[in-house]
A = this chain, B = another copy of it.
Amino acid sequence: MKPEPAYQVLRQRLRDEIAAGAYPDGVRLPTESELVAEHGLSRQTVRRAFQDLVAEGVVYRVPGRGTYANRGYLRQLGSIEDLMSLSEDTTMEVLQGLSRRVDVTAASRLRLDHDVVYTVVFRRLHDRRAGAKRPGESDRRAGAKRPGESDRRAGAKRPGESGRRAGAQRPGEMNGVPFVVTTVHLPESVARLVSDSAELADNAVGTNTVIGVLEPHLDQPIAEAAQSITVAPADELVAAALGCPPEHPMLRVDRLYSDTTGTPVELSVSHFLPEQYTYRVTLRRSS
Residues of B within 8 A of A77 (CB): 283
CB closest residue in chain B, given A251: B231
> From DSSP, what is the main secondary structure of chain A's interface residues?
mixed
Contact between chains at A147 and B264 (CB < 8 Å): yes
Q: How many Å lie between the Cα of A107 and that of B23 in the bound state?
A: 24
| Chain B nearest CB, measured from A47 CB (Å) | 9
Residues of B within 8 A of A55 (CB): 55, 140-145
Residues of B within 8 A of A198 (CB): none
| Residues of A near any B CB (own CB < 8 A) | 19, 48, 51-57, 72, 74-83, 104-105, 108-109, 139-154, 221-233, 235, 249-251, 254, 256, 258, 262, 264, 274, 277-287
Contact between chains at A282 and B224 (CB < 8 Å): yes
Contact of A285 among B146, B147, B224, B279 (CB under 8 A): B224
Contact between chains at B152 and A105 (CB < 8 Å): yes
Residues of B within 8 A of A221 (CB): 285
CB closest residue in chain B, given A273: B231
| Chain B nearest CB, measured from A120 CB (Å) | 20
